[in-house]
Chains A and B, each alone.
Chain A
Amino acid sequence: MISRLLIVALVGAVVALPFFAPSHIVFLVAMIGSTSVMVAGLTIVVGFTGQISIAQASFAAFGAYGTAQLAAMAGLPHWIGLPGISLAAAGVGYLFGLLSLRVADHYLALATMALCAIVQLLLIHLEDWTGGAVGLPVPPLEVGTRILTRPIELYAVIMPCAALTIWFLHALSTSRIGRAFAALRMSEVASAAVGIPVLHYKSFAFALSAFFGAFGGGLFALLTTYLDPAQFGILESVRLIAIAVIGGVLNPFGPIIGSAVFVLLPETMGALGRYMALVFSLLLLVFVVVSPQGIAGLYSRLRAWR
């Protein structure tokens, strides 16, 4: 009941925000929205399924650069290009998941980490396609004849996507697919013994993770209007993991909570801003040791305790 009230209040606040908040706040909240979509992918693969992926930034890059270049080079409108590139990412993610047949645990972590490093190097070296180290401008979102560049317009596009993503996480986690993911996380042997095709489901989790990574990356590209390969390395992958873990990897609202912390905290820190990345790393460490279920987990623990 309390949860339901909270959700209604949250939706109300998101709808009402652009009517009274200044535009830089609207921009920040849209940033929370696009980040949470990227992180939602990690919530599925790391949280629900218990697999390790240090390549989420690569899928975000795939979506961001793909969206930008499909528009710039092929003239494809974003509303086709963004879902299209995300579906392509899902395909790549599925193939990627098949690797987990041969590789598990820290080897998987390392393989994904190496892949992420390769993708970033390619972003820098394939200059004709990616703009190289200097980066790439993103063509703006056009709807009909209207060009959407103001934060409030992008907000109106991004926030519904973020809301749908959270709904998707919730619906997934309470379906047979979500239960199969949870089963994999706890025992692959027992999962296979009850007839769950382990490899297919792992790959499927990676596919979903890649889809949301790319979709969120595309939204991020539209919002920031400029892409820099430095934003898509291993450090960014780890940052996304930190957001997922601190928000809570077993809760559909985890990505939003984590993204809100990571986007808003630096804004309120002022001169201490340069210690922000350090603070986040320490926060991640504290959460992993003290409350592996993240902030969302703290909340439900608090409720159980009351």
Chain B
Amino acid sequence: MLGQILISGITAGAVYALVALGFVVLHRGTRVVHFGLGDQMTMSAYVVVIAQVFLGAPFAIAVLLSLGVSAAFGVAIERGVMRPLRRAPLLVMVIATLAIGGALREGLRASMGPLPWPVPFLLSPAPFTMGDLMLVPANLAVVGVALAVMSGLFVILRFTRFGRAIVAVYENPTGAAIVGISVPGVHARLWGLASVLAAVAGILVAPLITLSPDMGTIGIKGFAAAILGGFNSLPGAVAGGILLGIAETAAGVYVSTAMKDIISYALLILCVLLLPRGLFGKAESRKV
């Protein structure tokens, strides 16, 4: 039983971890928390469906198209909305990102209808058994892709010029500007990067749950994972995601499926109250 919970938990957790990474990648560099990131997940899954069903594109092309559209959308948000608001109070930024999310969701509802769309699985959804464990190839694929994307992210941040500029801005924005890194340019990259992470998460999770305009609510889970991880640590976001996935699955098994979401939201509130720095985060203080 425990093994089964772990496996299911890690599947859900891998998706949460990707979204959480999106939140943290963006927040660390720009101080912005993007409340519409969950809806960007939905959008990217719809782009795959649209490309496949309406344009007849093969799956791989549809996914690439979706990632490209997401990245462009992220950069457009940075240019069109966040840059004019960069000196605005946090409250205004939160409302702006809520509005972006709302526009995406309602735009999809108006154009694609409120009903769920089928999204192809990466691998077969038919379970097979291995020892006492029941494994689902589709879920394993989710974990595999998530792992690959995460490793890719760390490689990019560590070893490419593109990534090193981001890390420089994370560490010290003023210093980065002095050595000639364009901070607005990095912000645009961060928006693009976070959007791509959300897109991957959206495409992975859509076949497992149902793809409807309201799928973006799952973004809250990614948010919770980011908070568990301290909101400023990339490994923390991954660990937070996996932990949340396991906790939620366990709650579903031992308490009740109906209470599963309630418990995970309540955990989130408790964590915000009792562990505002998360499990891995560092303290921040304001100077007067």
Name A residues whose Cβ lies closer than 8 Å to a Cβ of B.
46, 50-52, 54, 99, 102-103, 105-107, 109-111, 113-115, 117-118, 121-122, 125, 189, 234-235, 238, 241-242, 245, 274-275, 277-278, 280-282, 284-285, 288-289, 292
Q: Are B269 and A114 in contact (CB under 8 A)?
A: yes
Beta-carbon contacts under 8 Å, B231-288 to A: 258-259, 261-262, 265-266, 268-269, 272-273, 276, 288
The reply to whether A110 and B99 form a contact with Cβ atoms under 8 Å apart is: no
State A122–B273 Cα separation when bound (angstroms): 21
CA distance A242 to B224 in the complex (A): 24
Contact with A along B26-51 (1 / 0, CB 8 A): 00000001010000000000000000
Beta-carbon contact of B273 and A111 below 8 Å: yes
Determine if B272 and A241 form an interchain contact, defined as CB atoms under 8 angstroms apart.
Answer: no
Query: Which secondary structure characterizes the binding site on chain A?
Result: helix
The reply to whether B103 and A282 form a contact with Cβ atoms under 8 Å apart is yes
Q: Which 8 A-B pairs have the closest CB atoms?
A: A281-B102, A281-B103, A277-B106, A285-B99, A106-B33, A278-B106, A284-B99, A114-B265
B96 close to A281 (CB less than 8 A) = no
In the complex, what residues of A have CB within 8 A of residue B276's CB?
102-103, 107
Is B273's CB under 8 angstroms from A289's CB?
no
B217 CB within 8 Å of chain A: yes
Q: How far is A285 from B90 in the complex, measured between Cα atoms in Å?
A: 15
Q: Are the CB atoms of B109 and A52 closer together than 8 Å?
A: no
User: Is residue B156 contacting chain A, with contact meaning CB distance below 8 A?
Assistant: no
Most buried by B among A109, A118, A241, A281: A281
Task: Evaluate whether A110 and B223 lie within 8 angstroms (CB atoms) in the complex, with A102-B273, A288-B95 already known.
Answer: yes
Identify which of B85, B92, B98, B100 gathers the most chain A CB atoms within 10 Å of its CB.
B98
Shortest distance from the beta carbon of A151 to any chain B beta carbon, whole Å: 29
Name the contact of A289 in the complex, choosing from B81, B110, B217, B266 (C-beta under 8 A). Answer: B81
Residues of chain B in range 173-199 having any CB-CB distance to chain A below 8 Å:
none
Give 25 A-B contacts (CB < 8 Å), ordered by A residue.
Answer: A46-B91, A51-B91, A54-B98, A105-B94, A107-B272, A111-B269, A111-B273, A114-B269, A115-B265, A115-B269, A117-B261, A121-B261, A125-B258, A125-B259, A235-B102, A238-B102, A242-B99, A242-B102, A274-B109, A277-B106, A281-B99, A281-B100, A284-B99, A285-B100, A289-B84
From B95, B262, B273, contact of A99 by CB (8 A): B273
The answer for the CA separation of A234 and B105 in the assembled complex, in Å, is 13
Min Cβ gap A272→B in Å is 9
Assess whether B88 is interfacial by the CB under 8 Å rule: yes
**CB distance B98 to A241 under 8 Å?**
yes
Docked CA distance A125–B217 (Å) = 18
Residues in chain B near residue A113, CB distance under 8 A: 35, 220
B259 — which chain A residues lie within 8 A by C-beta?
125
Is the CB–CB distance between B107 and A278 below 8 Å? yes
Apart from A106-B90, A111-B269, A289-B84, list 5 A-B contacts with CB within 8 A. Answer: A105-B90, A110-B33, A117-B220, A285-B96, A285-B100
Say yes or no: is B227 at the interface (Cβ < 8 Å to chain A): yes
Q: How far is the CA of A54 from the CA of B102 in the complex (A)?
A: 13
Known: A103-B273, A114-B220. A238 touches B98 (CB 8 A): yes
**Nearest B residue to A238 by beta-carbon distance?**
B98
Instruction: Find chain B residues with CB under 8 A from A278 CB.
Output: 103, 106-107, 109-110
A182 → B minimal CB distance (Å):
13
> A285-B100, A289-B81 are contacts. A275–B95 as well, Cβ < 8 Å?
no
Partner of A110 from the list B85, B91, B105, B268 (CB cut-off 8 Å) is B268
Taking the complex as formed, is B89 at the interface, i.e. its CB lies under 8 A from any CB of chain A?
yes
Q: In the complex, are the beta carbons of B262 and A110 less than 8 A apart?
A: no
Which residues of B189-218 have CB atoms within 8 Å of chain A's CB atoms?
214, 217
Chain B nearest CB from A245 CB (Å) reads 6
Task: Say yes or no: A289 contacts B96, CB within 8 Å.
Answer: yes
The minimal Cβ–Cβ distance linking A125 to chain B, given in whole angstroms, is 5
A281 touches B106 (CB 8 A): yes
Partner of A118, one of B90, B103, B107, B262: B262
Distance between Cα atoms of A22 and B258 in the complex (Å): 45
> Are A292 and B92 in contact, CB atoms less than 8 angstroms apart?
yes
Residues of A within 8 A of B261 (CB): 117, 121
Residue ID in chain B nearest A99 by CB atoms: B273
Partner of B91, one of A52, A117, A285: A52
CA distance A270 to B223 in the complex (A): 38
- In the assembled complex, the Cα of A121 lies from the Cα of B90 at a distance in Å of 29
The CA-CA distance from A280 to B106 in the complex, in Å, is: 9
When the two chains form their complex, are residues A277 and B90 in contact, meaning their CB atoms are under 8 A apart? Answer: no
Of all chain A residues, the one with the shortest Cβ separation from B265 is: A114
List, in ascending order, chain B residues with CB within 8 A of A52's CB.
91, 94
Please measure, in the bound complex, the distance between the C-alpha atom of A238 and the C-alpha atom of B39, giving whole angstroms.
Answer: 14
B33 neighbours in A (Cβ, 8 Å): 106, 109-110
Q: What is the bound-complex CA distance between A277 and B108, given in angstroms? A: 11
Residues of B within 8 A of A284 (CB): 95, 98-99, 102
In the complex, chain B residues whose CB is within 8 Å of the CB of A50: 89, 91
**Contact between B272 and A110 (Cβ–Cβ < 8 Å)?**
yes
* Residue of B whose beta carbon sits closest to that of A114: B265
Taken together as a complex, chains A and B put the C-alpha atoms of A54 and B28 apart, in Å, by: 23
* Other-chain residue from A103, A105, A117, A285 in contact with B265 (beta carbon distance below 8 A): A117
A-side contacts of B35, CB under 8 Å: 109, 113
